[in-house]
Amino acid sequence: MLSENEIKIIDFLKKKENKSAYSTELSSVIPETAVFSLAYLLKDKGYVSVKEEEKENIILTKEGEERLKEGLPEDNLINFLKGESKKIQEVAKTFKDFNIALSWARKKGLIKVDKGEIIPLKSSYVSPEYVVLKKISSSQDLSEDDKKYLKELESRGLIEIKKNKVLLLTLLKEPEIRPAITYLTPELLRNKEWTKYELKEYNVEALPPFIPLGKKHYFKEFLEHVKDVMVSLGFKEVKSDFVEMEFYNFDMLFQAQDHPAREIHDSFKVDGKGELLNQSLVKRVKEVHEKLWKYSWKQEVAKSLVLRSQTTATTARVLSTSPNKEIKVFTIGKVFRPDAIDATHLIEFHQLDGLVIEENFNFRELLSTLRAIFSGIGIKEVKFKPAYFPFTEPSVEVYGYIQGLGWVEMAGAGLLRPEVTEPAGVTMPAGAWGLGLDRLAMLFLGIKDIRNLYSDDIEYLRNRKVEY
C-alpha cells in the first residue's frame, strides 16, 4: 500500500517529461522534511530510482542584496563622472564607498589616475558581475560565461555558494490502481474477486458532518423548566393579557389611585379604556379604598389601560372570579416597565406569580412553598427578609444563594391583605408571590448581559448549552 504522500510523488514524476525530478522540486507538493525519507521508501518498493547529486546553491549575501539595489560602486563611479575627469579629493568628498569604487575601477581598467585626477575611460558602465548578480537574484540560469564571475562575486562577499545534497528521482513503474471498495460481500469472497480490489480502511475517528438541528431558544427552555417545576408542585397555569386595566394591575391590589404606592413601579400607558363588567366587585374595591386610604376613588382611572407591570395582575384576575375555594395557580409571562435599557435592565421581562388559597394556609406554609419552588428550580438555599408590598401583610423578600455570587434578591411574597381578599369574596387565607425570571436565568446560565436572553444570533444560540 502506498501512502498519500508517496502517491503525490509518483503523480508528480508521472507528469514530468523524462519522468524524473530533483528532490528540491518535490517540496512544492509534499513537506520538504519528508522528501528524503519518502524517496528512499519508494526506492525500496521499487517504484523509483534515486541518485544522489551535489548541487550548487547560490544565494545573495546581505551586501549582495544591497549592491543589487544600489549598483556596484565602480559602475556608480563611472556613471557619476559622465566621461569627465575630476580631482580625486573632490570626488572623495561626495562619492559613497569611494575607496572601493576607485580600487575596482582601476583594477578593471575603467579609469586612469594621473596627477591627482581621475580620468574615466568610459562615459557609462554596467559590470558583467552586476548582470550575473541580477540573474542569481531572479533564479535565472547562468551561462558558462556568467559562471566565470562567480569566484569574484564570492570573494567580494556578495554571494554565497553552498553545496547541497539533492536526490534525482526517476519513476521506474507506476502502481497498478485497484478500484477501492468499502465492504466485502459473500459474493466477492466466494469467487475470490476481492483480490482485485483495494479495501478502504474505515476512519473511526473522523467526525461526522455538523448538521445543526432545530432547537428551542434556551431562554424559552428555561421558562418551560420553571413551568414544569410549578406543575410538578400541583399548581395550575393561568394566563391573562399584556394590555390590562389599571383596576387589575393596581386597584384590586390595594394600590391607591392617588398614592405613591401606585408608582412603586412606573408603567406604560395604553390609549383607550377597558370595561368593568362586575360592578359589585368594583363597588367593594371602591369602598375599601375610600374607607382605608381616605380619598375619592374614580372608576375612570381604574378603566385606564396599561401594559401590565406585574403578573400579580393575573392573580388579581383570578381573585376577581371570586374563587372562594381552595386553589393553587401560577402564571409565567411578560411584564413591562419603563426603564433605561442596559446590561441588567430591559423594559420587558418575565415574571412568575403564584397564588394559593387554602383553608388554614399560613405564613409558615407560604415560606415552605417558596422553598419548594426555589429548590425545584435548582436553588437549594433561600432566606427571607421582611419587606413591604401594598397587597400583602406580612411581606417578605426572598433571597437565593448562588455559588460564586452569594445571596441574590429574587422574589417578593406575602399573605394577601384582607383589603385584597375580602372585596373578592375570598374568606380563606391566601398567599401570593412574584418572581423575576430574567435575572434568575442570567444567574443560572452565567449570562452577563440580559439582552442575550432575547438574542436571535443563530451562532450564539447554537453554541449555548442548557442542561437541568
Ligand X SMILES: N[C@@H](Cc1ccccc1)C(=O)O
Which chain residues interact with ligand X by CB under 6 A?
Answer: 310, 312, 353, 389, 392, 412-414, 432-434
Q: How far is the CB of 458 from ligand X (least distance, A)?
A: 33
Residue 255 vs residues 251, 264, 285: alpha-carbon distances, Å: 5, 9, 11
339 is in an annotated binding site: no
Whole-angstrom Cα distance, residue 35 to residue 21?
12
Which CB sits closer to ligand X, 377 or 413? Answer: 413
Q: Distance (Å, rounded) from C-alpha 100 to C-alpha 110?
A: 13
Least Å from the CB of residue 395 to ligand X: 6
- Tell me the CA distances in angstroms from 403 to 400, 408, 443, one per residue in order: 10, 10, 9
233 is annotated as contributing to ligand binding: no
Q: In angstroms, what CA-CA distances link 362 with 367, 415, 467? A: 9, 8, 35
Cell of 289: 379604598
* Nearer residue to ligand X within complex by CB, 267 or 310: 310
Q: Which is nearer to ligand X, 304 or 312 (CB)?
A: 312
Q: Would the annotation count 456 as a binding residue?
A: no
Alpha-carbon span 341 to 347, nearest angstrom: 7
Residue 254 in marked binding region:
no
Residue number with CB closer to ligand X (64 or 412): 412
Give 206's Cβ-side CA count (13 Å radius): 5
Q: How many CB atoms lie within 10 A of CB 458?
A: 9
CB within 8 Å of 25: residues ≥ 6 apart:
12
The least CB distance from residue 310 to ligand X, in Å, is 4
Q: Is 391 annotated as a binding residue?
A: yes
Q: Please, which residue, 23 or 392, has the CB nearer to ligand X?
A: 392
Least spacing, CB of residue 213 vs ligand X, in Å: 37
**Minimum CB distance to ligand X, residue 296 (Å):** 26
Is the dihedral angle over the CA atoms 373, 376, 377, 381 positive or is it negative? positive
Please measure the distance between the N-terminal and C-terminal CA atoms of the chain and give it in whole angstroms. Answer: 51
Cα–chain-centroid distance for residue 436? 29
Q: Which is nearer to ligand X, 140 or 368 (CB)?
A: 368
Min. distance of Cβ 341 from ligand X in angstroms? 19
Closer to ligand X at the Cβ: 400 or 434?
Answer: 434
Among 468, 467, 412, which residue's Cα sits nearest to residue 439? Answer: 412
Q: Is 312 annotated as a binding residue?
A: yes
Cα gap 222→406, rounded to integer Å? 21
Q: State the minimum distance, in angstroms, from the CB of residue 312 to ligand X.
A: 4
* Binding-site residue positions for L-phenylalanine: 312, 351-353, 391
* Binding-site residue positions for Mg(2+): 393
* Binding-site residue positions: 312, 351-353, 391, 393
